[in-house]
Structure 1
Amino acid sequence: MRHFDAEATRAALPFTALIEALRQMFIEGCEVPQRHQHQLGQDLTLLIMPAWQLGALLGIKTVSIAPGNAVRGLPGLFSSYTLFDASTGQPLAMMDGNEITSRRTAAASALAASRLADPASRHLLVVGSGRVASLLPEAYRAALPGIGQVSVWARRPEAAQPLVEQWRGIGIEANAVPELADACRQADIVTCATLAREPLIRAEWLKPGSHLDLIGGFTPQMREAHASCFVNAELWVDTDEALRKSGDLLQPLTEGLITPACIRGDLAKLCRLAPGAAHQPGQRSIFKSVGTGLEDLAAARLVYAS
């Protein structure tokens, strides 16, 4: 059985290769049952997330969430990924689940944007300052090489500057912005990776023809965009699970501002289109993701092949 620590897992997932691996897996498809959730007392939640392709590979991601770890000086989340032979059940590899999750999340957004955003997009605005947010410029530039300027807004301004320095260190023209509304008005692409429970982005801030990427609202209680953002926008999701999980979608659906029929399709459909094919000049687009075990399996397959 092979072991890939965080550094080895990260090294095996460069964004150009990972984006292509996701595209291939969305076209091939795989089995992704509903995740299992178990509460261990008051302080620990366990998630078990399997996915497989019959006759090929089976992957299981195990996630433990312990919010009280902060007082212990430990991260609040630990994740591991185990890969098996889907015919024999033989364990093949153990991988760092945090690296797989964060990198495949950023890559999926970049993959969708490569189909939905204006191919001439140059200015990317990152909203958020966490692990996934830190990866988004590199992922987006792998999918849309024309991006030359990156701005970042964070609720705590002091959290934005380390990201700016990190990105400048790898040759990205980056800056922190104090006003979210003004930053949105200037950006070709706005990508949000936050834990917001109240909407941050408003429709009137977004340029005609811009692309809005919503990563963070993965529960019904979480929202990153005002319901008005979804009106008269080209709306796509990663999977239909977004209709059940995402507060960003549930709110405008409840208010009758949109219906399920407003959703143009999912990431599997986008992957069958050429880059830029789904972009309509002057028309805003939105990609709403909640994550899927298919992406984890695609990333793990890439790591195992390295």
Structure 2
Amino acid sequence: MHVIDAETVHERLHYPGLIEALERAHRDSPPWMDRTLMQAPDHGVHQGEAFLVLPAWFPGRVMGVKMATVIPRNADAGRPTIHASYQLFDGDTGEPKANIDGTALTLRKTAADSALGSRLLSRSDSGTLLMVGAGALAPHLIAAHQAARPSLRRVLVWNRTPHHRDSLVEALRAEEIDAEAVDSIADAIPEADIICCATGTMEPLIKGQLLQPGQHLDLVGSFNPSMRESDDDCVRRARLFVDFRASTVDAAGDLFHPITDGVIEESDIIADLFELCGGRQSGRGDDTEITLFKNGGGAHLDLFAAEHLVEQVDRD
């Protein structure tokens, strides 16, 4: 059995290859999946905290399970918000195949998920990315979006805490990326071709009335109905896509509230990645459309990424 640490995960899961692996995996039917989410109350010191167990199973092929904790207050102490462990099993014999650092796996698969959505939905000439949020996931999302859209040369960064924003900008500049700290989301939105949000906000940060023709909005942070990064105008104005219908419609506030309130209907969601990659639906129609992609995650993505990772390790 492989024991794969975080350093090896980051070394082996290069974004171009991982994005390709996710696209191939989405051409087939989803594996069997389940999801257990334990959440703290929406008030008090433990607000926003969660414990997730995410199993997935391709019978006869592979099965795996991720156990993850989400502790938003860790960010204030400079620790990762998400900690996780992933166990991969042989789908035929049930024998353990790999124990993987689930935190690193989560960062990589989440970023690649958004990047695959961008490759299918954003304009091919996109040049400026607005990154809303500067947590541990932000540099991975930036790198993955750049892998999907090499035309992205400029990165704008906003964060509630200027210190974390400025640290990320400094790190990006050290990699010779044209990065700039911004104080106002509203002022930055018109400058961006792609807007990526990865926050723990309960109140919408992206106002749909500010969105410009041709923009692509990538929403990552909201993973329960209490969290929401975009307002009703965003879903009214945009063509709506998700990574997987089953992990987004009822789970993410960005869609749950507009559907519940009658702003949109579930049928307004045009496609998920299985439908897009399988050729059953098309993505962006022209360069003037606003596209919205909700990254909801799911056990299938962890399984796809873990299987691809072990394939890379086994080649050695």
Quick check: 1:97 aligned with 2:102?
yes
The Cα shift of 1:29 comes to 3.0
The Cα shift of 1:166 comes to 1.6
The Cα shift of 1:78 comes to 2.5
Q: Answer yes or no: is the 8 Å Cα contact 2:249–2:256 preserved in 1.
A: yes
Partner of 2:201: 196
> Relative to 1, partners in 2 of residues 1:71 and 1:121: Cα closer, same or farther, differing over 3 Å?
closer
Unaligned 5+ segments in structure 2 are none
The Cα shift of 1:255 comes to 2.7
Q: Answer yes or no: is the 8 Å Cα contact 1:115–1:273 preserved in 2.
A: no
What TM-score comes out, normalization by structure 2 length? 0.89
CA RMSD of aligned residues (A): 2.5
State how far apart, in whole Å, the 2-side matches of 1:164 and 1:4 are: 30
> Relative to 1, partners in 2 of residues 1:144 and 1:272: Cα closer, same or farther, differing over 3 Å?
farther
Q: Answer yes or no: is the 8 Å Cα contact 2:33–2:57 preserved in 1.
A: no
Q: Secondary structure at the match of 2:183?
A: coil
Match of 1:229 among 230, 234, 248: 234
Match of 1:254 among 245, 251, 260: 260
Q: Answer yes or no: is the 8 Å Cα contact 2:128–2:152 preserved in 1.
A: yes
State how far apart, in whole Å, the 2-side matches of 1:67 and 1:130 are: 10
Aligned letter for 2:155?
A: V
Match of 2:135 among 130, 134, 138: 130
Q: Percent identity among equivalent residues?
A: 39
Partner of 2:26: 26
Match of 2:170 among 165, 172, 181: 165
> Relative to 1, partners in 2 of residues 1:68 and 1:216: Cα closer, same or farther, differing over 3 Å?
closer
State how far apart, in whole Å, the 2-side matches of 1:73 and 1:129 are: 12
Partner of 1:265: 271
State how far apart, in whole Å, the 2-side matches of 1:74 and 1:106 are: 19
Partner of 1:17: 17
State how far apart, in whole Å, the 1-side matches of 2:302 and 2:82 are: 17
Q: Secondary structure at the match of 1:27?
A: coil
Which one is further off, 24-33 or 291-300?
A: 24-33
Q: Answer yes or no: is the 8 Å Cα contact 1:212–1:287 preserved in 2.
A: yes
Give CA-to-partner distance per residue, 1:11-67, whole Å, 9 cap, x none. 111100110111111112332422134689x98964321112122111111124567
State how far apart, in whole Å, the 1-side matches of 2:153 and 2:80 are: 33
Aligned letter for 2:301?
A: E
What TM-score comes out, normalization by structure 1 length? 0.92
Q: Answer yes or no: is the 8 Å Cα contact 2:84–2:103 preserved in 1.
A: yes
Partner of 1:244: 250
Partner of 2:304: 298
Q: Secondary structure at the match of 1:7?
A: helix
Aligned letter for 2:17?
A: A
Q: Answer yes or no: is the 8 Å Cα contact 1:26–1:294 preserved in 2.
A: no
Unaligned 5+ segments in structure 1 are none
Which one is further off, 122-131 or 52-61?
A: 52-61
State how far apart, in whole Å, the 1-side matches of 2:159 and 2:170 are: 14
The count of corresponding residues between Structure 1 and Structure 2 is: 304
Quick check: 1:109 aligned with 2:94?
no
The Cα shift of 1:254 comes to 2.6
Which one is further off, 176-185 or 279-288?
A: 279-288
> Relative to 1, partners in 2 of residues 1:59 and 1:127: Cα closer, same or farther, differing over 3 Å?
same
Q: Secondary structure at the match of 1:184?
A: helix
Partner of 1:119: 124
Q: Answer yes or no: is the 8 Å Cα contact 1:53–1:86 preserved in 2.
A: yes
Aligned letter for 1:150?
A: V
State how far apart, in whole Å, the 2-side matches of 1:183 and 1:39 are: 33
State how far apart, in whole Å, the 1-side matches of 2:252 and 2:165 are: 26
> Relative to 1, partners in 2 of residues 1:212 and 1:69: Cα closer, same or farther, differing over 3 Å?
closer
Give CA-to-partner distance per residue, 1:74-125, whole Å, 9 cap, x none. 7564311111101100111111001111111111111111111111110110
Q: Answer yes or no: is the 8 Å Cα contact 2:56–2:65 preserved in 1.
A: yes
Q: Answer yes or no: is the 8 Å Cα contact 1:182–1:205 preserved in 2.
A: no
Aligned letter for 2:19?
A: I
